[in-house]
Structure 1
Amino acid sequence: MDSWTVENHKVHVYVGTDGGHQDEFLRGDRPKDLLRNSILTPSLGAAIMNAKYVNSLPLYRIEQEFQRNGVNISRQTMANWVIRCSERYLSPLYDYLRTKLLEYHVNQADETPVEAIHDGRSAGSKSYMWVHRSGEMYTDRPIVLYEYQKTRNSGHPLEFYKDFQGILVTDGLEQYHKVGRELAGVINANCWVHARRDYADAVKAMGKSNPEAVKQSTAY
């Protein structure tokens, strides 16, 4: 069951006169706003972001859920909150995590196509979500960062890893090999899972009736 807490903050203002023409005002301190002159609280902002990005609820459904509970917050307002909080609070966190990620000796990178609705192009245009993460051996503090770009241009990973010194594990995409060639501190290592596929496919093609194929399949 959802519960809501309404916070009322009162800021007292005292007015005094010294007998002259100039009034004197003394205003009490008020709680700091997450966003200036906004009712958004950290818990409300976290709930909206969790619903949208973790539970995959579109803003109009979150808006409807609020309305069913007697809370009127429009999807436009929520979208503005998410954008402003992203710019003000999450962007510095992203930059910090990128710095920490590049300190690891082994990183992994991949990209996948996504369709963009509004980014200055026609709806359905193909864009790419680049994913950068720490190597699988960094279990204590794993870092995963997503980077939205309109293209698959090699300039994107070159820019992201320009300060990296270590091993970058990727698939066979030429853009990643270009990173290895042009950045002196980066060694491009192909993904072992991708390397295994051709061998596994060859074993399957040999058929289960072939004793050697059965032996090789267990080895892989």
Structure 2
Amino acid sequence: MEVTTTAHSSDGVQPIVCFTSDEPAPFAQETIIITKQQDIEQRCRINYLEAQQIRDKAKIKALEEEIILKDAKINDLNKRLFGKSSEKSKKQNSEKNTNNSDQAPKRNRGQQPGSPGHGRTNRPNLPLVHAAPLDLPDEQKKCPDCGLPHIRKPELDKQSDVIEVEVKAHTRRYSRPAYTRNQGCTCDNHLPTIITAPPPPTLIPHSSYDVSFWVEAILNKYRYGQPANRYLQGLQDLGCPVSPGTLAGGLKNLAHLFDPILEALYIRQMGEKIFHNDETRWEVFVEIEGKVGSRWYLWVTRSQSVIFYCIDPSRSATVPGAHFAGLQNDLVIIICDRYSAYKKLARLADNIILAFCWAHVRRDFLDAGRAFAELNEWGLDWKERIGNIYHLNKLRLEHWNPELPLSEQSKQFTQCQQTLQDALQRMHDEASKGIMQDNNKQQSKSQASKRSNSAQIKQKKVFKACLIIGRDSPYLSKTQMCRWIII
């Protein structure tokens, strides 16, 4: 028996399906007849859906990668916020009284211009130490024209009090005998009516503080790192109250006395060949035109014999560029982190080679391992390799004689040197291999770490005869007891 089944199109005119069979036929044996227009429409629809599917898959893949990166950022932020940190400090509440900030203009710190001063502070409780009298020289005890001697007038003697700080604060009083002109002296030489020796010299003219006071202040503030307020509190406990303005103004007036020393230290440092550099933010509450906020930067340059500090409102390459403009050697090495200002400095100066810090590279691998769970083992593996470099360098430095050049070191040192170079070569080969494998993949943080490590090794010219300095750098901000490797 023959059965014919006909299905009509949506417009009810053209049949689109027709097959004849005694029994239900499989789909492979059924025949579908459609018009050319319907075929074109179906193909266009299929192509559209396929293109839409490709776009949706790409969008889903991009969203999945974005989720992975966001999860990594969350892990990193959680580590920074809740992880252990030796530099973590409590937040200060800077939003107090913000509602009243617009009611009155902000006034400058310290004593206001035009306000009356408090005068010199009386210190009646300080013990009085009498010094040797400051008398006139014999040739000044007589008239310079006629030679008649001046008449001694003890009742007109002048007193000069100078405050000194030794073990305990005291006032040192100098007695200056007074003289008047002889009655028989009629010379017109403009001598004063009362003639005495001049007051004792002080560092700051017309100041009542002697050299010992300023020596103590400078040592406590800059040598021992004691805050000025705490130092003034100590003086008050000794019975010698000093106002903060007196200390600040005195130190400002003494600054120019150190210019020759600063110049000599700078010239000495520029004659050396190896430098450690770093910078950190530094709050300076000084308003300058074009500068917003109080954030300045403290730059430090350390060589073998000099530590040079510079406070500047800028963090650009112009600051180290100006400092190293006076280099006296044809080739120097600057040990630093990978901050872009140092890279620009090396590009502009042909006599500067950068040696990057292994501690910063090690930190990148640890951050990648913490952010991406699948990279944890890989990051720890690189951490062990870098740790082995530290260990080999430590063994090498045990045989290092700083008085001999590299070519004349002992046999033990040469062996340790070769072992270290072999380890660095293996590390370089492994890093290059990892980069080659990732060349055709989408770049991620792990790939950035590998590329950063390789770029560092290339820029440091690894695997040549090298000198590795094992020197702790506790003076650098946020990096204590950090060993640097110079290649």
For the aligned pair, the TM-score class normalised by the smaller chain equals: 0.7 to 0.9
State how far apart, in whole Å, the 1-side matches of 2:208 and 2:306 are. Answer: 32
Partner of 1:62: 231
State how far apart, in whole Å, the 1-side matches of 2:213 and 2:177 are. Answer: 26
| 1:186 aligned partner, one-letter code | I
- CA deviation digits over 1:61-117, x for unaligned, max 9? 43333233221311100011111112x222332222111111111111110012222
Q: 2:296 aligns with which of 122, 127, 132?
A: 127
Count of aligned pairs: 211
User: Residue 46 of structure 1: CA displacement?
Assistant: 2.6
Partner of 2:310: 147
SS at match of 2:173: coil
Indicate the percent of aligned positions where both proteins have the same amino acid: 22
Q: 1:157 aligns with which of 320, 326, 348?
A: 320
Which shows bigger deviation, 156-165 or 36-45? Answer: 36-45
State how far apart, in whole Å, the 2-side matches of 1:155 and 1:183 are. Answer: 12
User: Residue 13 of structure 1: CA displacement?
Assistant: 5.4
State how far apart, in whole Å, the 2-side matches of 1:117 and 1:214 are. Answer: 41
Tell me if the contact between 1:16 and 1:23 (Cα under 8 Å) persists in the aligned partners: no
| 1:120 aligned partner, one-letter code | I
The reply on whether 1:190 has 2:361 as its aligned counterpart is no
Q: 2:207 aligns with which of 29, 38, 54?
A: 38
SS at match of 2:239: coil
Q: 1:117 aligns with which of 285, 294, 299?
A: 285
Tell me if the contact between 2:202 and 2:211 (Cα under 8 Å) persists in the aligned partners: no
State how far apart, in whole Å, the 2-side matches of 1:21 and 1:213 are. Answer: 91
Gaps spanning 5+ residues in structure 2: where?
1-166, 371-375, 390-487
User: Residue 50 of structure 1: CA displacement?
Assistant: 3.2
Q: 1:94 aligns with which of 238, 258, 262?
A: 262
Which shows bigger deviation, 15-24 or 43-52? Answer: 15-24
Partner of 1:24: 191
SS at match of 2:172: coil
| 1:108 aligned partner, one-letter code | H
User: Residue 12 of structure 1: CA displacement?
Assistant: 4.5
State how far apart, in whole Å, the 2-side matches of 1:49 and 1:114 are. Answer: 20
| Structure with the higher fraction of residues in strand conformation | 1
User: Residue 161 of structure 1: CA displacement?
Assistant: 0.3
| 2:306 aligned partner, one-letter code | I
Bigger CA radius of gyration: 2
State how far apart, in whole Å, the 1-side matches of 2:306 and 2:357 are. Answer: 19
| 2:377 aligned partner, one-letter code | M
Question: TM-score scaled by structure 1?
Answer: 0.77
| 1:82 aligned partner, one-letter code | L
Query: Cα 1:113–1:184, aligned 2, differ >3 Å: closer, same or farther?
Result: same
User: Residue 191 of structure 1: CA displacement?
Assistant: 2.5
| 1:8 aligned partner, one-letter code | R
User: Residue 198 of structure 1: CA displacement?
Assistant: 4.2
User: Residue 45 of structure 1: CA displacement?
Assistant: 1.4
Tell me if the contact between 2:358 and 2:386 (Cα under 8 Å) persists in the aligned partners: no
Q: 1:3 aligns with which of 150, 168, 172?
A: 168
State how far apart, in whole Å, the 1-side matches of 2:340 and 2:352 are. Answer: 15
Provide the alpha-carbon RMSD of the alignment. Answer: 3.4
